[in-house]
Amino acid sequence: MSQNRSNSPRLLRWGIKSLLLLLLSAAAYVAVVTYLNGEPEVMMSEVEPVFVSQCVAAHTSQALDNDGLLRVGVWNIYKQQKRGWQQALSKIAERSEIMLLQEAKLNAGFNQYLNGSSLHLVMAKAFSLLKSPVGVMNLATEQARDACAYHAVEPWIRFAKSTLISRYSLSNGQTLLVVNLHGINFDWQLKSYRAQWQQIVQKINLHQGPVILGGDFNTWRGQRMAYIEQLAHQLRLKEAVYEEDKRQRVFGLPLDHLYYRGLNLVAAESFTSQASDHNPIWAEFRLKPVAH
């Protein structure tokens, strides 16, 4: 009995020390991740090859479409961790005017790929790993007119997810709004998930021309999918209908999506790829005639 009593203070002290160590470790983790996240910043290759502000503008740009046709790719590229990503990305680029990438890592290998292409880059940084920015990225045959980056922080792991909102010129005189989003993943109550989407709702509502909305939305629950469908109805967006649908699914629900407004869908497909843990989406649109 006396031995148990003598051990009680030791156990209490050990418990307090363990709790303090846990709290200090958690605080240190949050501090490090917050530093890696930084502020929402965007990079446009034609303006300055650095992340300097939340928004950037090129002021002038050429028409993105090809004689009224606009071909779009959407792909979570998994930080280029799998073999063959260069070849897979090049195949999509060969038949696309613009590609919306998620989990793109702007490291030496990706910069080397870009230097060997004529693609124009716009990127919204989510966070940095070993000085390499990670986030969502547009690669296009023409430069964007302007672009802005937005952050949403994962409630549990605290790493940021980014959204890129950019505008491109079209040959019919309209301006195309492109929203590239990587959705928050670990949020059961969807408070942060909904807040992330509300960052873009007003932008789409105010835009007068065509809209492309694509990305990895992490719609692995019915509630998430229902919320996206509600927003799509509110924003008058249609989801692409795929001739072949090989999109990555969790609990039977697709994670990746492509929505549009003010364009005519010609064809869409999602095909398998071994170069990422997600399968790419590709679609072709035709511009609508503009009434004068």
Tell me, what amino acid is at 162?
S
Contact at 8 Å (CB) between 281 and 217? no
Count CA atoms closer than 13 A to 15's CA, side-chain side: 6
CA dist., res. 48 & res. 44, Å (int): 6
Which of 26, 24, 23, 52 minimizes the C-alpha distance to 38?
52
Task: Look at residue 211 in the predicted model and tell me its pLDDT.
Answer: 98
Contact at 8 Å (CB) between 123 and 105? no
Task: Look at residue 5 in the predicted model and tell me its pLDDT.
Answer: 56
What are the residues facing 163 on neighbouring strands? Answer: 150, 181
Residues in the chain: 292
Alpha carbon separation from 218 to 87, 124, 188, 243, 285 (Å, rounded): 26, 18, 12, 22, 25
Task: Look at residue 155 in the predicted model and tell me its pLDDT.
Answer: 87
Sort strands 132-140 and 160-169 into parallel, antiparallel or unpaired: unpaired
Tell me, what amino acid is at 248?
Q
Q: What would the two tokens of residue 6 be?
A: 């003598």
3-class DSSP state of 133: strand
Which of 197, 198, 195, 168 minimizes the C-alpha distance to 181?
197
Q: Which residues of the chain have pLDDT under 70?
A: 1-7, 15, 17, 19-38, 46-52, 157-158, 292
Torsions phi, psi for 110 (to 5 deg): -70, -40
Contact at 8 Å (CB) between 91 and 276? no
CA dist., res. 98 & res. 263, Å (int): 15
Over residues 166-217, the pLDDT tens digits come to: 999 999 999 999 999 999 998 888 999 999 999 899 999 999 999 999 999 9
